[in-house]
Amino acid sequence: MGMVLDKTILVTGGASGIGQATAILLAAEGARVVIADLSLDAGNKTVEKIVRAGGQAEAHKVDVSDHTQMSALVEAIADRYGSLDGAFNNAGVPGPVANVCKLTMDDWDEVIKINLTGVFASIKCEVAQMVKQVRGGSIVNTASVCGLVGMYGQAAYNASKHGVVGITRTVALEYARKNIRVNSVCPGFIETPMLKVRTDADPTLSAYLDNSVPLGRKAQPLEIAEAAMWLLSDRSSYVTGIAMPVDGGFTAV
């Protein structure tokens, strides 16, 4: 039996990286997956992979920071499938690496808009639907180790991810009695297109990151997907309000 059999689960940023790996895994475990991404073409390619493997999925072009777009998507999901059982709020951007004096206000606004406002807008819509359901639901937000510790050159990204952890804990408390669980995963350094942009620009960075992790390597997106799926499944039924590091021991140092 699949861990998320017959659940309808929304995955934002599901066209690549961690979101794509999670969407594929959820579908393989029996979920109906709805992918929301700015790139509809990439979203549809992920859907094709899922369908070829025998799963169920659909993709929508959505700006997660736009509450109107997110509300319309969640309403459409509920109308089509009858419920929204889970949501993985994963869409995000890295922003530039720059100390706070060199970080522009436009850079700050863009990172906060997607990484923090996007999660806030998504949660508002998802919770509004889940409170209507007897069985509630499970929400998982992608934070980061940068939501648990500081990191040089990452003021906007760190602020956004600390904010995601804060929202996660607050909404978990607000809706626990409605049977809505809210958790976050805090990935470390992951082999994703987002990270590859940086390691390609700085050939020494990849080895430096590996050496900073006790397990001695970066993670694969599937390793984060496994954690997200567990939190979305009923197997984590007594877990809410946590920020789970999936970081190879990075924050244990």
CATH architecture type of domain 8-188+220-245: 3-Layer(aba) Sandwich (3.40)
- Residue 206 and residue 219 in contact, taking contact as beta carbons nearer than 8 Å: no
Helices 17-28/221-232 angle, 10° precision: 50
Helices 155-175/105-112 angle, 10° precision: 30
Per-residue pLDDT of the chain (253 residues; tens, 9 = 90+): 589 999 999 999 999 999 999 999 999 999 999 999 999 999 999 999 999 999 999 999 999 999 999 999 999 999 999 999 999 999 999 999 899 999 999 999 999 999 999 999 999 999 999 999 999 999 999 999 999 999 999 999 999 999 999 999 999 999 999 999 999 999 999 998 778 877 887 878 889 999 999 999 999 999 999 999 999 999 999 999 999 999 999 999 8
Residues labelled catalytic: 157
Pick from 53, 51, 1, 52: which is nearest to 30 by CA?
Answer: 1
- What the block records as the tokens of 76 is 């459409």
